[in-house]
Amino acid sequence: MSELYDVIIIGGGAGGMSAGVYAARGKMKTLIIEDKRNTGGQAATTSEMENYPGILEATGPQLMDMFREHCNKFGVEFVRGLVTGISIAEDGFIKTLTTNKGETYQTKSIIVATGATPRILGITGESEFRGKGVSYCATCDADFYEELDVVVVGSGNTAVEESVFLTKFVNKVTMIVLHDQGILDADRTAQEQAFANEKIEFVWNSVVEEITGDELVNGVKLKNLKTGGISELAADGVFMFVGTVPKTDFVKELIELTPQGYVITNDKQETSVPGIFAVGDVTDKFLRQVVTAAGDGAVAAVAADRYIEEEESWCKSVSEFGGTAMVAFWNPLSKESLDVINQLELKCKDHPEQRVVTIDTYKSQNIANRFSVSEVPVVIRFDAGQEAKRVDVKDITELETLY
């Protein structure tokens, strides 16, 4: 069993390393578990990085190297492994992670930053020729196709940007687009780059029915969606850019996911399980970009720090306290709750074995939710850490029933 971490981040992409920087700089003991040899996630496979503010000239791998250096500066620890399971202690605070290597790690909070993997269409020949002409990463494989002809499947930003990058190496790129002529899913700037590039050609209203070849890919069979006709196109490689699938199998029984498998989070990047956060491409979000993943990471790290502070304060002041704790749930907008706190403090002056603990329901929503407190004031009496009596205060005289 490892030492206890404040936060363990699963995944070393932009979101994970951003969280690492914020957490470690905030003096949290931080570990990033990455299942790949090199950190960086999807961003490390992206050739062009034109829209990360302040970075005018850098590739995806170069930017991710800078993220890693930033993590190193503040003492983030890194280990390699694939997280296969998460268990939570009975009190809900300490979490234990297990990896495919049989290693275990303990932590107070978790940030899931596992990202997403390229979507597999299941086209005939796709799996058979993977690594033999079928690729999902232009940055990784473009130089293998120098002066050759390749096909790109997809028409979103990634497909267009990677097609433009491929033209630096290949003889010709043919994009297979299922839309009518002139319609791409990419943004306007990317479209303009593609249409202006003489090495990029388009086949409209079509899908790839089959990837053909012998030892290596030698072409594709295309189906025209309007006529149903099948045609053949010679090609030395096929690059697939048709979206991604979130890497959430290891948490699908633990936290709430969308039907598509993405993690559902709130504005603090909190999941349905207190103390577990999620960031980046693995989450259900409008825009999946390096800059949004980095923002998610910053939010999650700060939220995890607040979560730990709240839980440790609760343990010290209530669950591990041997006397009686009068826990008053309140918020600053409720005059009634302020009156209740004043009354409790007056009572406790004559009872040194008692203490008053105040919980701001806005700042400590996890604890308020744990005890189903939706309206204030509410006072719960705990004896030696165990709930003994609850009063949803309508009249201040009801406090007498607590004693």
Active site residues: 137, 140-141
CB atoms inside a 10 Å sphere around CB 247: 21
CA distance 20 to 1: 22
Q: What are phi and psi of 289, to 5 degrees?
A: -140, 165
Residue 191: strand, helix, or coil: helix
Q: Which residues, at least 6 apart from 280, have a Cβ–Cβ distance to it below 8 Å?
A: 11, 13, 14, 15, 16, 41, 113, 115, 288, 292, 293, 296, 297
Burial of 352: CB neighbours in 10 Å, binned 0-12, 13-18, 19+? exposed
Tokens 């578990």: give the residue: 33
Residue 170 CA: distances (Å) to CA of 149, 165, 211? 6, 9, 19
- Find residue 220's DSSP bridge partners: 211, 233
Name the maximum alpha-carbon separation found in the chain: 90
Whether the Cβ atoms of residue 64 and residue 55 lie closer than 8 Å to each other: no
By DSSP bridging, strand 172-176 and strand 200-203 are parallel
With H, G, I as helix, E, B as strand and everything else as coil, classify residue 139.
helix
Residue 183 backbone phi and psi in degrees, to 5: -105, 120
Cα(294)–Cα(282) distance, rounded to whole angstroms?
13
For CA atoms 383, 388, 394, 399, the dihedral sign is negative
What angle do the packed helices 290-314 and 14-25 form, to 10 degrees?
40
Q: Kindly list the distances between the CA atom of residue 220 and the CA atoms of 2, 171, 174, in Å, as whole numbers in the listed order.
A: 51, 17, 11
365's CB contacts (< 8 A; 6+ apart) are none
The encoded tokens of residue 303 equal: 């939220």
